[in-house]
Amino acid sequence: MSEQVGKTFDAKIDKLDRKGSGLAAVWRENEEGNPKKLKLIIPQTLPGETVRVTVDKTKSRKRKVMPEEILEEHPERITPECPHFDRCGGCVWQHWRYEGQLKEKMEHVKEAVTSQGFDSSLVRETIGMDNPWHYRNKMEFTFSPDGELGLHEQGNWRKVISLETCLIAGVEMVEAAMEVARWAKQYELKGYNKDLHEGLLRHLMVRQSFATNEIMLALFATESPTGNLKKAVDDLVKRIGEKFPQVKSFMWMENNDVADRVQSEESHILAGRDFIYDELAGYRYRLWFDTFFQTNPTQAEKLVELALEIGDPKESEKMIDLFCGVGTFSLPFASRVAELAGIEIVESSIESAKRNAEDNGISNTHFLAKDARKGIDQVLESFGNPELLLLDPPRSGAGGKVMRKIGRSGPERIVYVSCNPDSFATDIKELVPFGYTLKMVQPVDLFPNTIHVECVALLIKE
């Protein structure tokens, strides 16, 4: 019998993919009546569950479908708290009890290190949060063409889900964002249409320091806030000032680029300054709209404390902080070593790192705006070989060439902070020929209800 349109299957979830969706396989008949395996990607499911799905006629060997009914539930399945969970792409695991999420993240790290020949017993249990809600100190919302403010639909970057709330963002951040959304609707301002490349409002970035309580609002638009817009913008500034006195930076950012990125060609300060103050692990930082900073300050402090504990910095030592950003790890370590050199390719981040060191009375740092590979060579030549090296690379990892340069520089201890277990495991394998041994890996959950996990690892030169 040939396959029917809209055939229904009962599928068992074998495991989860790296995007947090369930994976299953069913058998179907092709046009010749022969059985063929169809691989299914099924979001909002958990390992071991049996779910009912309907698959339209297709010759593809893989399909993504939504579950119609959960026939056999995972014992850790719970009812999602957010009303937008079914459609919003902000989180994928609100249907999973938090303890199960933490275990899955630990298993992800174990699989990654095992795949590169390391002992999985070196991976500790994931450090979670006491309260895994309202933890984000930065959010980037998007305007739909009709002016609604929200987040992208799960798996569809062209569709924006209008939000009433967001349970992973700070409460006051969401309230401020909703005030901007009401303003946009009142003045009937159009959002940006990505297909036609027309419309006014593109994004709203909100960030807040949970330590100082200061909020930054950055509204990205295709026109300047003058001329016909002046009356509406003045009203928005007044409303924000009256309702949210903690907003210390309110920016209007012009962006006419075709690419759908949160960037600015020209900035206008509507109120306050162009940065806010934040604090982390006892150090003070200035944050601009494009400053990369840890988005979960509660867990970020645990990352810093853990890195200090396993790195064991000493007053007599030299240290390199690779991919140093604005100095999140640099400043706490610099207070404990003789000299520290920070390397980061983003020039604005290096300028911020220098300013942050000065603001905190730290004078033994040397920050260099260079690509990691070239920066290491330059620092080693002028600075000498370090006893301690810390790296916190982007999701893609540091790469083999950089890791081999680190290995040749011969630091006694290497602290690797990672936001991607797979690239982390690939990177540290490059250190083995240089005599390094992996001592421990500590997963830390900075993004509850999502698939992401950070980890901090220690490698020792034997």
Give the pLDDT score at 115.
98
Give the pLDDT score at 264.
66
In tens, the pLDDT along 318-366 reads: 999 999 999 999 999 999 999 999 999 999 999 999 999 999 999 999 9
Give the pLDDT score at 260.
64
In tens, the pLDDT along 68-117 reads: 999 999 999 999 999 999 888 789 999 999 999 999 999 999 999 999 99
Q: What is the rounded CA–CA span in Å between residue 326 and residue 333?
A: 13
> At 261, is the pLDDT very low, low, confident or very high (cuts 50, 70, 90)?
low
Q: What is the mean predicted confidence (pLDDT) over 370-378? A: 95
35 backbone dihedrals φ, ψ, rounded to 5°: -70, 135
Task: Using alpha carbons only, give the angle 436, 443, 373 rounded to the nearest 5 degrees.
Answer: 45
pLDDT at 425 exceeding the cut of 50:
yes
Give the pLDDT score at 387.
98
> At 196, is the pLDDT very low, low, confident or very high (cuts 50, 70, 90)?
confident
Three-state DSSP class for 156?
strand
Cβ 431 vs Cβ 414: under 8 Å = yes
Q: What is the rounded CA–CA span in Å between residue 10 and residue 28?
A: 12
Give the pLDDT score at 273.
97
The 3-state DSSP composition of the chain as helix, strand, coil percent (nearest 5) reads 25, 30, 40
Q: What is the rounded CA–CA span in Å between residue 160 and residue 156?
A: 8
pLDDT at 3 exceeding the cut of 50:
no
pTM given for the model: 0.91
Give the pLDDT score at 255.
87
Give the pLDDT score at 197.
87
> At 265, is the pLDDT very low, low, confident or very high (cuts 50, 70, 90)?
confident
Strand partners, 64: 41
End-to-end CA distance of the chain: 65
- Joined together, the tokens standing for residue 149 give 């403010």
Give the pLDDT score at 2.
40
pLDDT at 263 exceeding the cut of 70:
no
Q: What is the rounded CA–CA span in Å between residue 252 and residue 218?
A: 6
Q: What is the rounded CA–CA span in Å between residue 457 and residue 49?
A: 34
Q: What is the rounded CA–CA span in Å between residue 209 and residue 215?
A: 7
Cβ 387 vs Cβ 317: under 8 Å = yes
Domains located in the chain, CATH noted: 7-72 (2.40.50.140), 103-130+294-461 (3.40.50.150), 138-280 (2.40.50.1070)
In tens, the pLDDT along 277-302 reads: 999 999 999 999 989 899 999 999 99
Average pLDDT across the chain, whole number: 94
405 backbone dihedrals φ, ψ, rounded to 5°: -65, -40
Report the share of the chain in percent with pLDDT over 70: 96
> At 164, is the pLDDT very low, low, confident or very high (cuts 50, 70, 90)?
confident
Give the pLDDT score at 5.
58
- Joined together, the tokens standing for residue 293 give 């900073």
Confirm whether 324 is a catalytic residue.
no
pLDDT at 172 exceeding the cut of 80:
yes
Give the pLDDT score at 90.
82
What DSSP string describes 17-60? -TTS-EEEEEEEE-TTS-EEEEEEEESS--TT-EEEEEE-S---
In tens, the pLDDT along 126-161 reads: 999 999 999 999 999 999 999 999 998 877 777 888
Half-sphere exposure of 186 (CA within 13 A, CB side): 12
- Among residues 82, 91, 324, 419, which one is catalytic? 419
- Exposed, middle or buried: residue 204 (CB in 10 Å: 0-12, 13-18, 19+)? buried
pLDDT at 258 exceeding the cut of 90:
no
154 backbone dihedrals φ, ψ, rounded to 5°: -60, 120
**Amino acid letter for position 436:** Y
Maximum Cα interatomic distance, the chain, rounded to a whole number of Å:
77
Buried b (16+ CB within 10 A) or exposed e, 301-337: bbbbebbbebbebeeebbbbbbbbbbbbbbbbbbbbb
In tens, the pLDDT along 16-75 reads: 999 999 999 999 876 666 788 899 999 999 999 999 999 987 778 899 999 999 999 999
In tens, the pLDDT along 306-317 reads: 999 999 999 999
Strand partners, 417: 456
Give the pLDDT score at 447.
96
Quick one: which H or E segment has residue 277? strand 276-280
Give the pLDDT score at 7.
87
Give the pLDDT score at 89.
75
